Structure 1
Amino acid sequence: MTETRHPMTGNEMSPESAGGMERHAYDVVVVGAGGAGLRAAIAAHDAGARVAVVCKSLLGKAHTVMAEGGIAAAMGNRWPEDNWEVHFRDTMRGGKMLNHWRMAQLHAQQAPERVMELEDWGALFDRTDDGLISQRDFGGHRYARLAHVGDRTGLEMIRTLQQRTVQLGIDVFMELTVTDLFQDDGRISGAFGYWRETGRFVLFEAPAVILATGGIGKSFKVTSNSWEYTGDGHALALRAGASLINMEFVQFHPTGMVWPPSVKGLLVTESVRGDGGVLKNSEGTRFMFDYIPDFFRAETADTEEEADRWYDDKKNNRRPPELLPRDEVARAINSEIKAGRGTPHGGIYLDIASRRTPEFIRKRLPSMYHQFKELADVDITAEPMEIGPTCHYVMGGVEVDPDTQESAVTGLYAVGECSGGMHGSNRLGGNSLGDLLVFGKLAGEAATAYATGLGRARPAVAEDDLRAASHSAVAPFEVEGGDNPYAIQSDLQQSMNDLVGIIRTAGELERSLVEIEALKERARSMAVEGHRQYNPGWHLALDLRNMLLVSESIARAALAREESRGGHTRDDFPQTDHEVWGRKNLVVSLDAAGTGVELSERPLPEMPDELKKYFDEPRKES
């Protein structure tokens, strides 16, 4: 028999591939090629697995590149007092104590080693005067601990991991979307998808699948997220029988562009504030001093003079209020805009021009300088930026075991933004990139140990399941006169923006659920014209199934949580209820009909006494 190999990967193809559906066999399949997916693939390869990476876009185009500020790791290069215990404490406090303590602990302990590993693989970090990896300040972090490459850290991470992946010879399937996961007796047996260019179906037979698909931002009208972020991993896990946790907590990054309309929501990195930028309203007032929560009062500067001294010598260590956690800053900005003190284009001002030299700005923030100059005709070395909150990150995701990242479904793992638990109710800036590295490695190793331990007794893909997935994928082509996928997405984004946004009420959330249900009904009869080749309307139709399921998960959990905490603010329940809601998480699972979601409550994992002491003891001032 003549050997057939795939033209892109060089991977041997089964006889069925040549004449029909393309088929591949691996030990581990990683869905997503961002920082988490690539790190998981590298770990799986190094542990001895035959591994494939499947990505919706091109390799190197992952949304990780938008994480510009740095990687949070307690390396102590600028503050020798910094250590994993302080980082752990900051992470738990930033998440308002809803984080899974074990994930926060593992992240804080292992992030420094993962950063050094990146450097060993060729990442070029900025340096201190002593030649160490430079670390910058970010909101919610007690010390300057973000290892960075200007304001292009995510890009450098992807470049390094991508180069490592190619060097190791890992198979990469680019521009291929996964639509279904298969199981055999409750165990993962494979994944099904299609080439976005040709529409041709592909089957991956594998006993272990790692979901690393990122977030859900394209369900919102104003977002920093790219087009890939349609909640694919969240929805795939739900339909496979896994559960989601913390879905009510959506982070609205305080600083996204507001003008011109074509770039509204595009991220403005927190590095601007970390390097000295301040927030001002239309009256020229540096308003963040009016919004310091009691929880952070002891470590936040109370006056402008005190804050400016901190930037100059760092000896005081009472941090500027612009460096409060993102949820606090976003709410403050929203309040100023609602009070009529916003800019002409509906934002507020972020000013670094009056505080740093043009040379400093161009060196430390080259991407931001270029972004505003090219897209808004604003020179940030000479004038302030107009910014406002933008949907940026979802803290919620697949509920996983902290040490292995395995979900409730045997053989199914989740890492990065599509997993939940690590960040609680609010993620600190810089913790995302460390999260990708730490848990990507753990997932890759655990998935390989499971898959290779099966020997020949591997789960199999049923032909009936394969036919069902194929039929479901092409169903929109069989509808005549149905709704347009783009119209449904537009209405969903508007609904989520207006009713499930940065400030929520019971009435609005109830309306959103009614509207989502109506959109689900419209989606059942949406129509796609043309054929499967080069058909973005068809791609969106398939993505909408995921977006609607995840949007319902967010809205239903947000309605149930009757308090304000982290990335979830209820105007009708403005207080944080530690006694009731501080002791449990909300868990989302697929309902019995398989068309919606249902909620349950779960007690928080009990933190061991040796970690509780970091919150019980009085904080030691530096």
Structure 2
Amino acid sequence: MSTEAPDITAERHVYDVVVVGAGGAGLRAAIAAHDAGARTAIVCKSLLGKAHTVMAEGGIAAALGNLYPEDNWKVHFRDTMRGGKMLNNWRMAQIHAQEAPARVLELEEWGALFDRTKDGLISQRDFGGHRYARLAHVGDRTGLEMIRTLQQRAVALGIDVFMECTITEILKDGDRVAGAFGYWRESGRFIVFEAPAVVLATGGIGKSFKVTSNSWEYTGDGHAMALRAGAKLINMEFVQFHPTGMVWPPSVRGILVTESVRGDGGVLRNSEGRRFMFDYIPEFFKAETADTEEEADRWYTDKKNNRRPPELLPRDEVARAINAEIKAGRGSPHGGVYLDIASRRDPEFIKRRLPSMYHQFKELADVDITKEPMEIGPTCHYVMGGVEVDADTGAAAVPGLFAAGEVAGGMHGSNRLGGNSLSDLLVFGRRAGLNAAYHAIRTKNNRPRVRDDQVRAAGETVLAPFTSKGGENPYDVQKDLQEVMHNLVGIIRKADELEQALEDIAKLRERAAKVSVHGGRQYNPGWHLAIDLRNMLTVSECIARAALTRTESRGGHTRDDYPMADPEWGTKNIVLSQVDGRIDLAIQPLPEMPDELKALFE
């Protein structure tokens, strides 16, 4: 254990806008800020190009109307609001639906290579909850192509990039953002960014859960830093469990199986070989005259009916149906169900449309998806909750702080539709970057200053695990936290388990404050996790506290003791803030939707 005096010296950099995160939202924000004339830096926890956005495989939702000319932003807006069970910030959903087509075409102008229709237009595919096929896609590698295109654009523009650099704290001058404090993951040396505007694009919270599709970076850093800086979080009780993650072998448990498999004709079957989703669809979706699965399937795929196969219901409904089959004893040998496309599409089609999935199962599970079904089950995938931001600008309550992408709340309400994540990143990444640049320009003659005492405090906080004596290994604390969240705050919740979770999280917080790490600051993943634990515990408490308060089931929040949606809760958001280190909770009404938009739902 190191006994040397804490070294708080830090290299310093001065920018107008610092973007934390290099996924789709971060890259698009940085490009927008740069184009608006701001000196911009991108800081990312991992390597450039390794962002979790690459896992968004299915496509970018945008009402281009290439397959169905009757599709338009109003239909997309309505689908998004209905998917979110009307708890979305209506203005964000409106902006998203209106601007998504332009952002996709812009991506194409920058070199993105989309699949094409026979007429040469960008191809669009079906996804759950969307009335029309509207996901612009590149096979099942859309996120990867999006990151490649945005990354190439950012590098070509000469935007500075700080890779493998973790930001741990937002620095302030009074009530204004003054910059950010962090450290180089390789050397452990500290780094300070002086900037009047910071854009958080740090993604989600999945590593707090035992089974997740999320990569190692997703420890809720942006959510927790925003809270500590004085911003608020909304909708944190709504966590999306993607219906289809790999369940076998254990080493790949939770890895995403794209919704494109179901969008391209895959169906869900239980251990009896029966296509069970017909048992779970709402009555008004059911085919009235279908006596067999084949007849029902023809009815659902008849576009004149404006219906979708039951496998393409919103993700929260499909995940609950799979969970119910497993609990009823009709699951697969490894605790999932079967996703079958082999019996419904020829091998050439599967390899052409789903190349990544074909290779993923072949290499990781020794399963040929052109010949046999996949074993899948729900996996923690996305958090609808995040930083409360202004719909038009992406600005948080703290002057100079902006957020975009998964770290921002409001856009998706209680449940996100597949494909809306990538268009969300583009639309609101651009808006956050632009408005961060405008904010920096407005402060040109009155820039906030980084205070030395704040830098020292931030440094001492992250070095504390080196001086803690007799503490635990941080990996043990993370493992126990993941068990708590998986068992007590997972896909089905109830009051006594949520209360137990909050008690357990409080004990874990005490343990985390005393974790010990050994060795130096160079190449020390145990130290990195010890720092991340503070953020993971904060967001976990926010999720559990909000879930206990919302006494209904809606979207990504299912209460076993309150199984129905409550109209009273359908007009309210739960808002979380941090006061003197304690999480405070308040309930506030949703913004009022204008009459012309309300008319779309009549």
TM over 0.5: yes
Task: Kindly indicate whether residue 588 of structure 2 is the aligned counterpart of residue 602 of structure 1.
Answer: yes
Tell me the alpha carbon deviations over residues 413-444 of structure 1, each in whole angstroms, 9 at most, x when there is no partner.
00000000000000000000000000000011
Residues 139, 353 of structure 2: 8 Å contact kept: yes
Please name the residue that 2:444 is paired with.
455
Q: For 1:236 and 1:438, how far apart are their aligned partners in 2?
A: 23
The alignment of Structure 1 onto Structure 2 pairs a total of residues equal to 595
- Normalised by the length of structure 2, the TM-score is 0.97
Tell me the alpha carbon deviations over residues 549-598 of structure 1, each in whole angstroms, 9 at most, x when there is no partner.
000000000000000000000000000001x10110000111x331x312
| Superposition RMSD in Å | 1.5
Please name the residue that 1:101 is paired with.
90
Residues 310, 319 of structure 1: 8 Å contact kept: no
The alignment partner of 2:47 has SS state of coil
Farther-moved stretch of structure 1 (465-474 vs 90-99): 465-474
Task: Kindly indicate whether residue 264 of structure 2 is the aligned counterpart of residue 275 of structure 1.
Answer: yes
Tell me the alpha carbon deviations over residues 444-488 of structure 1, each in whole angstroms, 9 at most, x when there is no partner.
111101101112210101111111111111111001110110000
Residues 287, 296 of structure 2: 8 Å contact kept: no
Q: For 2:362 and 2:583, how far apart are their aligned partners in 1?
A: 45
Task: Kindly indicate whether residue 51 of structure 2 is the aligned counterpart of residue 62 of structure 1.
Answer: yes
Q: For 2:216 and 2:290, how far apart are their aligned partners in 1?
A: 39
Please name the residue that 1:619 is paired with.
none
Tell me the alpha carbon deviations over residues 385-430 of structure 1, each in whole angstroms, 9 at most, x when there is no partner.
0000000000000000000000000000000000000000000000
Please name the residue that 1:262 is paired with.
251
One-letter amino acid of the counterpart of residue 90, structure 1: D
1:375 equivalent among 339, 360, 364: 364
Q: For 1:275 and 1:64, how far apart are their aligned partners in 2?
A: 21
1:327 equivalent among 291, 303, 316: 316
Residues 181, 191 of structure 1: 8 Å contact kept: yes
Please name the residue that 1:356 is paired with.
345
Within 5 Å, give how 1:372-451 maps onto structure 2. 372-451=361-440
Q: For 2:463 and 2:48, how far apart are their aligned partners in 1?
A: 26
Tell me the alpha carbon deviations over residues 78-108 of structure 1, each in whole angstroms, 9 at most, x when there is no partner.
0011000000000000000000000000000
One-letter amino acid of the counterpart of residue 580, structure 2: A
Residues 300, 319 of structure 1: 8 Å contact kept: no
Tell me the alpha carbon deviations over residues 112-131 of structure 1, each in whole angstroms, 9 at most, x when there is no partner.
00000000000000000110
Q: For 2:370 and 2:399, how far apart are their aligned partners in 1?
A: 53
Task: Kindly indicate whether residue 137 of structure 2 is the aligned counterpart of residue 143 of structure 1.
Answer: no
Q: For 1:183 and 1:355, how far apart are their aligned partners in 2?
A: 57
Task: Kindly indicate whether residue 10 of structure 2 is the aligned counterpart of residue 24 of structure 1.
Answer: no
Tell me the alpha carbon deviations over residues 227-268 of structure 1, each in whole angstroms, 9 at most, x when there is no partner.
000000000000000000000000000000000000001100
2:231 equivalent among 242, 263, 272: 242
The alignment partner of 1:182 has SS state of strand
2:455 equivalent among 466, 482, 499: 466
Task: Kindly indicate whether residue 576 of structure 2 is the aligned counterpart of residue 588 of structure 1.
Answer: yes
One-letter amino acid of the counterpart of residue 78, structure 1: L
Residues 289, 303 of structure 1: 8 Å contact kept: no
The alignment partner of 2:93 has SS state of helix
Q: For 2:572 and 2:283, how far apart are their aligned partners in 1?
A: 23
Within 5 Å, give how 1:499-514 maps onto structure 2. 499-514=488-503
1:42 equivalent among 22, 28, 31: 31
Label 1:300 to 1:271 Cα distance change in 2 as closer, same or farther (>3 A): farther
Q: For 2:345 and 2:94, how far apart are their aligned partners in 1?
A: 36
One-letter amino acid of the counterpart of residue 570, structure 2: G
Residues 102, 402 of structure 1: 8 Å contact kept: yes
Identity %: 78
Task: Kindly indicate whether residue 602 of structure 2 is the aligned counterpart of residue 613 of structure 1.
Answer: no
Shift of 1:28: 0.2
1:225 equivalent among 214, 236, 242: 214
Q: For 1:300 and 1:109, how far apart are their aligned partners in 2?
A: 38
One-letter amino acid of the counterpart of residue 378, structure 1: V
Residues 245, 420 of structure 1: 8 Å contact kept: yes
Please name the residue that 1:187 is paired with.
176
Gaps of 5+ in 2: 1-7
Please name the residue that 2:103 is paired with.
114
Q: For 2:128 and 2:36, how far apart are their aligned partners in 1?
A: 36
2:293 equivalent among 277, 288, 304: 304
Task: Kindly indicate whether residue 544 of structure 2 is the aligned counterpart of residue 558 of structure 1.
Answer: no
Q: For 1:298 and 1:480, how far apart are their aligned partners in 2?
A: 66
Label 1:299 to 1:330 Cα distance change in 2 as closer, same or farther (>3 A): farther
Within 5 Å, give how 1:493-572 maps onto structure 2. 493-572=482-561
Shift of 1:304: 3.0
Residues 213, 254 of structure 2: 8 Å contact kept: yes
The alignment partner of 1:420 has SS state of coil
Tell me the alpha carbon deviations over residues 132-164 of structure 1, each in whole angstroms, 9 at most, x when there is no partner.
000000000000000000000000000000000
The alignment partner of 1:140 has SS state of coil
Q: For 1:173 and 1:302, how far apart are their aligned partners in 2?
A: 60
Q: For 1:299 and 1:43, how far apart are their aligned partners in 2?
A: 51
Q: For 1:307 and 1:72, how far apart are their aligned partners in 2?
A: 27
Tell me the alpha carbon deviations over residues 353-396 of structure 1, each in whole angstroms, 9 at most, x when there is no partner.
00000000000000000000000000000000000000000000
Residues 285, 307 of structure 2: 8 Å contact kept: no
Shift of 1:308: 3.0
Residues 65, 153 of structure 1: 8 Å contact kept: yes
Within 5 Å, give how 1:123-134 maps onto structure 2. 123-134=112-123
Task: Kindly indicate whether residue 62 of structure 2 is the aligned counterpart of residue 76 of structure 1.
Answer: no
Q: For 2:386 and 2:191, how far apart are their aligned partners in 1?
A: 26
Tell me the alpha carbon deviations over residues 173-197 of structure 1, each in whole angstroms, 9 at most, x when there is no partner.
0000000111112000010000000
One-letter amino acid of the counterpart of residue 589, structure 2: P
- Normalised by the length of structure 1, the TM-score is 0.94
Residues 19, 29 of structure 2: 8 Å contact kept: yes
Shift of 1:302: 9.5
Shift of 1:34: 0.1
Please name the residue that 2:4 is paired with.
none
